[in-house]
Chains A and B, each alone.
Chain A
Amino acid sequence: MPSEFTLSPEDVADIVSIVDASGYDKVEVATTRFRLVLSRKNEGWTQEWNRPHAPAADAPAKSAIPAAAPMAEDVEHAGFTTVPAPLPGTFYRASQPGAPPYVNEGDRVVEGTILGIIETMKLMSTVSASGPGTVAQILIPNGTPIDAQAVLMLIKPDLT
């Protein structure tokens, strides 16, 4: 890769200063490695770097998250309340390594009971129960990367 042609930020600034004096409003530079679009906008110029081999729209997106986590819409509800992840990130069942889990299967919960936490971009968000019931099944192990809306656990709600 190093020997292949690339543009430094200084090169890009030079190109902009040349075309700025011209009547052009847009310049495209395309190589096998990138496609750069320079456009006039307001009183300045923008740069947009595009990827050369963008996957086709129907190609499955590559994700670092294992595909094992079921999504909310895939889960058979059958009398259970699903607990979806509000944000993508890493799911933890305890407040810190070594601490007991917030809940285990079979535990009773009420509205607001903390079920777990999700770390997203270094920020912790808690996941709480939406109503009274019993933890029926925990689907995601501690420390697992998850997508938003992945079902973390199933709650058997109390009959009302």
Chain B
Amino acid sequence: MIRRLFIANRGEIALRIIRTARRLGITTVLGCSEADADSVPARFADEVVRVGPAASSQSYLSIGRVIAAARGAGVCAIHPGYGFLSEKAEFAQAVVAAGILFVGPDVSSLRAMGDKLKARAVAVEAGLPVVPGGAGATREEVRARARDTGYPLLLKAVAGGGGRGMKRVDAPEQLDAQIDLAMAEALAAFGDPRIYVERYIAQGRHVEVQLLGDGTTTLHLGTSDCSIQRRFQKLVEEAPAPGIPPVRREAIHAAAVSLGRKLSYRGAGTVEFLVDAQTFDFYFLEMNARIQVEHPVTEAVTGIDLIEQQLLVADGQRLGISQEQIHIDGHAIEVRINAEDWRADFRPSPGKITRALWPVGAGIRVDTHADSGASVPPFYDSLLGKLIVSGVDRATAILRLQRALQCLEIDGVKSTVDLHRAIAADPRFVCADVTTRFFEGLAHG
């Protein structure tokens, strides 16, 4: 039984973990940086240890300092939260070597999912579909890849990134000219002419499946949709993913569970898929081998406390639930409130919160460390808190979201509150007509 838990994180997730630990009678020790000594989680934890100065490289990201602090505090387990060291196999290994329980998957799972190419290979072995594609070094090889991949497709430089040298090809007769162009550009830009061929999914959705495993059993807790993003960062998440035909939904669940079984997965993890918004074909993207920012939407529709399950499994216990006992009830939506000036290209806005009014009431959950008077240091990410609403159906949840956002007020720093008001009122969002290109079509006010 875990009696003392070290929390190697900050912000809202640190507070979230403390809440469940407290309910379970576990003493919490927060390892925080100097910049967070007066934070809400630091005032809420049972004990606080300084792990280092403000810079995360010397505090939250320092394996040596975190382990030393946890050892000094005499804890029996470490919860890494998300981000920071949560998916670093090296950290998990050091925790175990120190004789402390790691609240997360086995080191082998972290290794398998930590590298994108490796994760893709493991997923293929587990029978999951991946975005069709592959690399070619000559025109003939690229042609062969294109035949296997199908149209429309994208040609990109193997050595490239950031969209440079990317070509869309809609039909076979355009292929040769585009290969020549793409190879020439790739050679000029990167000194490497190799081309990666990938199926182009024009209307993609980002759908993920929450898994729980104890090393023997793998359960799924349904889907969520995180399509509304900007620069690959999620802004809005909802569960279940709306408008997916039941047969397809079941297939997505089954694919995620196969991967969990393949890994003999322990703890909470999320399998992310790219789903074609028209055909509902789906492709494995990656697995997050940790608790996710958006875990409350799954909690809201299943009634399962994911942090509690993580702690149980870390403690060596079997999951206390079966697949038949998991029911998806109603609908939940989460919006991320960030300290960013979204009208100025999401420019970061650290500072001091002079006033924070968060909504409260039926069907509303707020996970935040931002109270009135809180400082928002420039050293960490910009998440101030999450507003999660739930209702019997999606329409009810959206109405609650719109009303709750009218009650939300953050003064002193710029925030994404009014961006979310615009999204919640956007007809495409209201009709669940949402793809990963949603943000491009949002009226910038």
Point out the residue from B19, B53, B403 that lies within 8 Å of A43, measured CB to CB: B403
Is A54 among interface residues, defined by CB-CB distance under 8 A?
yes
In the complex, are the beta carbons of A121 and B381 less than 8 A apart? yes
Cβ-closest chain B residue relative to A44: B407
In the complex, are the beta carbons of A64 and B348 less than 8 A apart? no
Type the 1/0 row for B327-351, where 1 means its CB is closer than 8 Å to any CB of A.
Answer: 0000000000001100000011010
User: What A residues does B33 contact at CB under 8 A?
Assistant: 64
Point out the residue from A62, A87, A123 that lies within 8 Å of B38, measured CB to CB: A62
Give the docked Cα–Cα distance between A48 and B46 (Å).
23
Known contacts A42-B407, A46-B407, A145-B54; A121/B360 CB under 8 A: no
In the complex, are the beta carbons of B35 and A120 less than 8 A apart? no
Known contacts A1-B46, A64-B377, A89-B379; A44/B406 CB under 8 A: yes
Point out the residue from B19, B350, B361 that lies within 8 Å of A8, measured CB to CB: B19
Give the docked Cα–Cα distance between A34 and B382 (Å).
24
In the complex, are the beta carbons of B406 and A41 less than 8 A apart? yes
In the complex, are the beta carbons of A9 and B407 less than 8 A apart? no
- Tell me if B's interface is mostly helix, strand, loop or mixed: mixed
Residues of B22-71 at the interface with A, using a CB-CB cut-off of 8 Å, are: 22, 27, 33-35, 38, 40, 43-46, 53-55
The stretch of A11-19, A69-77, A128-136 in contact with B is: A11-19
User: What A residues does B404 contact at CB under 8 A?
Assistant: 44
Count of chain A residues near B, Cβ 8 A: 39
Point out the residue from A44, A65, A87, A90 that lies within 8 Å of B361, measured CB to CB: A44
Is B356 among interface residues, defined by CB-CB distance under 8 A?
yes
Type the 1/0 row for A96-137, where 1 means its CB is closer than 8 Å to any CB of B.
Answer: 000000000000000000000000111100000000000000
Point out the residue from B19, B352, B360, B377 that lies within 8 Å of A47, measured CB to CB: B360
Count of chain B residues near A, Cβ 8 A: 47
The stretch of B207-215, B218-226, B365-373 in contact with A is: B365-373
Residues of B75-120 at the interface with A, using a CB-CB cut-off of 8 Å, are: none
Is A23 among interface residues, defined by CB-CB distance under 8 A?
no
User: What B residues does A13 contact at CB under 8 A?
Assistant: 360-362, 364
In the complex, are the beta carbons of B355 and A48 less than 8 A apart? yes
Give the docked Cα–Cα distance between A16 and B361 (Å).
6
Give the docked Cα–Cα distance between A46 and B340 (Å).
22
In the complex, are the beta carbons of A120 and B350 less than 8 A apart? yes
Is B160 among interface residues, defined by CB-CB distance under 8 A?
no
Known contacts A1-B45, A42-B407, A143-B55; A49/B378 CB under 8 A: no
User: What A residues does B357 contact at CB under 8 A?
Assistant: 39, 41, 46-48
Is A60 among interface residues, defined by CB-CB distance under 8 A?
no
Type the 1/0 row for B396-415, where 1 means its CB is closer than 8 Å to any CB of A.
Answer: 00000001101111000000
In the complex, are the beta carbons of B55 and A90 less than 8 A apart? yes
Known contacts A42-B406, A121-B339; A50/B373 CB under 8 A: yes
Point out the residue from B43, B340, B380, B408 that lies within 8 Å of A1, measured CB to CB: B43
A74 vs chain B, min Cβ distance (A): 21
In the complex, are the beta carbons of B43 and A54 less than 8 A apart? no
Type the 1/0 row for A18-57, where 1 means its CB is closer than 8 Å to any CB of B.
Answer: 0010000000000001000011011111111111001000
Q: Which residues of B contact A (CB under 8 A)?
A: 19, 22, 27, 33-35, 38, 40, 43-46, 53-55, 339-340, 347-348, 350, 352, 355-362, 364-366, 371-373, 377-382, 403-404, 406-409
30 A–B contacts from the bound complex (CB under 8 Å): A1-B43, A2-B22, A2-B27, A13-B360, A16-B360, A17-B361, A20-B361, A33-B43, A44-B360, A44-B404, A46-B359, A48-B356, A48-B358, A50-B373, A51-B373, A54-B373, A61-B352, A64-B53, A87-B348, A87-B378, A88-B350, A90-B55, A90-B378, A120-B350, A121-B348, A121-B378, A121-B382, A123-B347, A143-B55, A145-B54
Q: Which residues of A contact B (CB under 8 A)?
A: 1-2, 6, 8-9, 12-13, 16-17, 20, 33, 38-39, 41-51, 54, 61-62, 64-65, 87-90, 120-123, 143, 145
